[in-house]
Amino acid sequence: MKNYIFSFCIFLSLVWTSCTVSKSVVSQGADLAKYKYVAVIDNGTYRMPPELVQYQIQLYDAVEQSGLTMIGQYRIDDLTQGEQSSLLLATFGVAIKQEETVITVNFIDFNTGRPLASCQGAYTTLGISPGSDIKGALKRVGEQISKTFNK
């Protein structure tokens, strides 16, 4: 009987986990292939509690899955005007709820300020393991970034 209940709980958690939606949206007519660089802006790394920096590292790793060359936000002015026209700015958003954790990475054209792509990763363990929710959402947003930029 215990094995049956345990198996049923595992099955339910798999069903609920699969109900989360990870997706990407790309602006109509956007040519992501023309971009070579990405800079993460206003990341708050130095204001962040030390125990959360591990997630910041994983967010940067997810952005690197775009295949774009990472540029520090304070080095943008070192790029030529031509290189700046190939630059995307990336911003992060994190929403943690009991139902799910959602991580969003938005990519914005440096010259125009226009958002071009938004990649979202979502994951849930239904509040059982918030740490696993964050890790799962990070993995899924990385997958969405990879799919979006490596077509």
At residue 10 the predicted structure's pLDDT band, cuts being 50, 70 and 90, is low
pLDDT over threshold 90, residue 5: no
**Which DSSP string corresponds to the chain?**
-HHHHHHHHHHHHHHHHHTS--EEEE-TT--GGG--EEEE-S--GGGS-GGGHHHHHHHHHHHHTT-PEE--GGGGGGS-HHHHTTEEEEEEEEEE-SS-EEEEEEEEETTT--EEEEEEEEE--TTS-HHHHHHHHHHHHHHHHHHHH--
pLDDT at 145 over 90: yes
Q: What is the pTM of this model?
A: 0.82
Q: Which domains does the chain have, with CATH numbers?
A: 2-149 (3.30.160)
pLDDT value of position 69 = 94
pLDDT digits (tens, 9 = 90+) for 71-119: 999 999 999 999 999 999 999 888 888 889 999 999 999 999 999 999 9
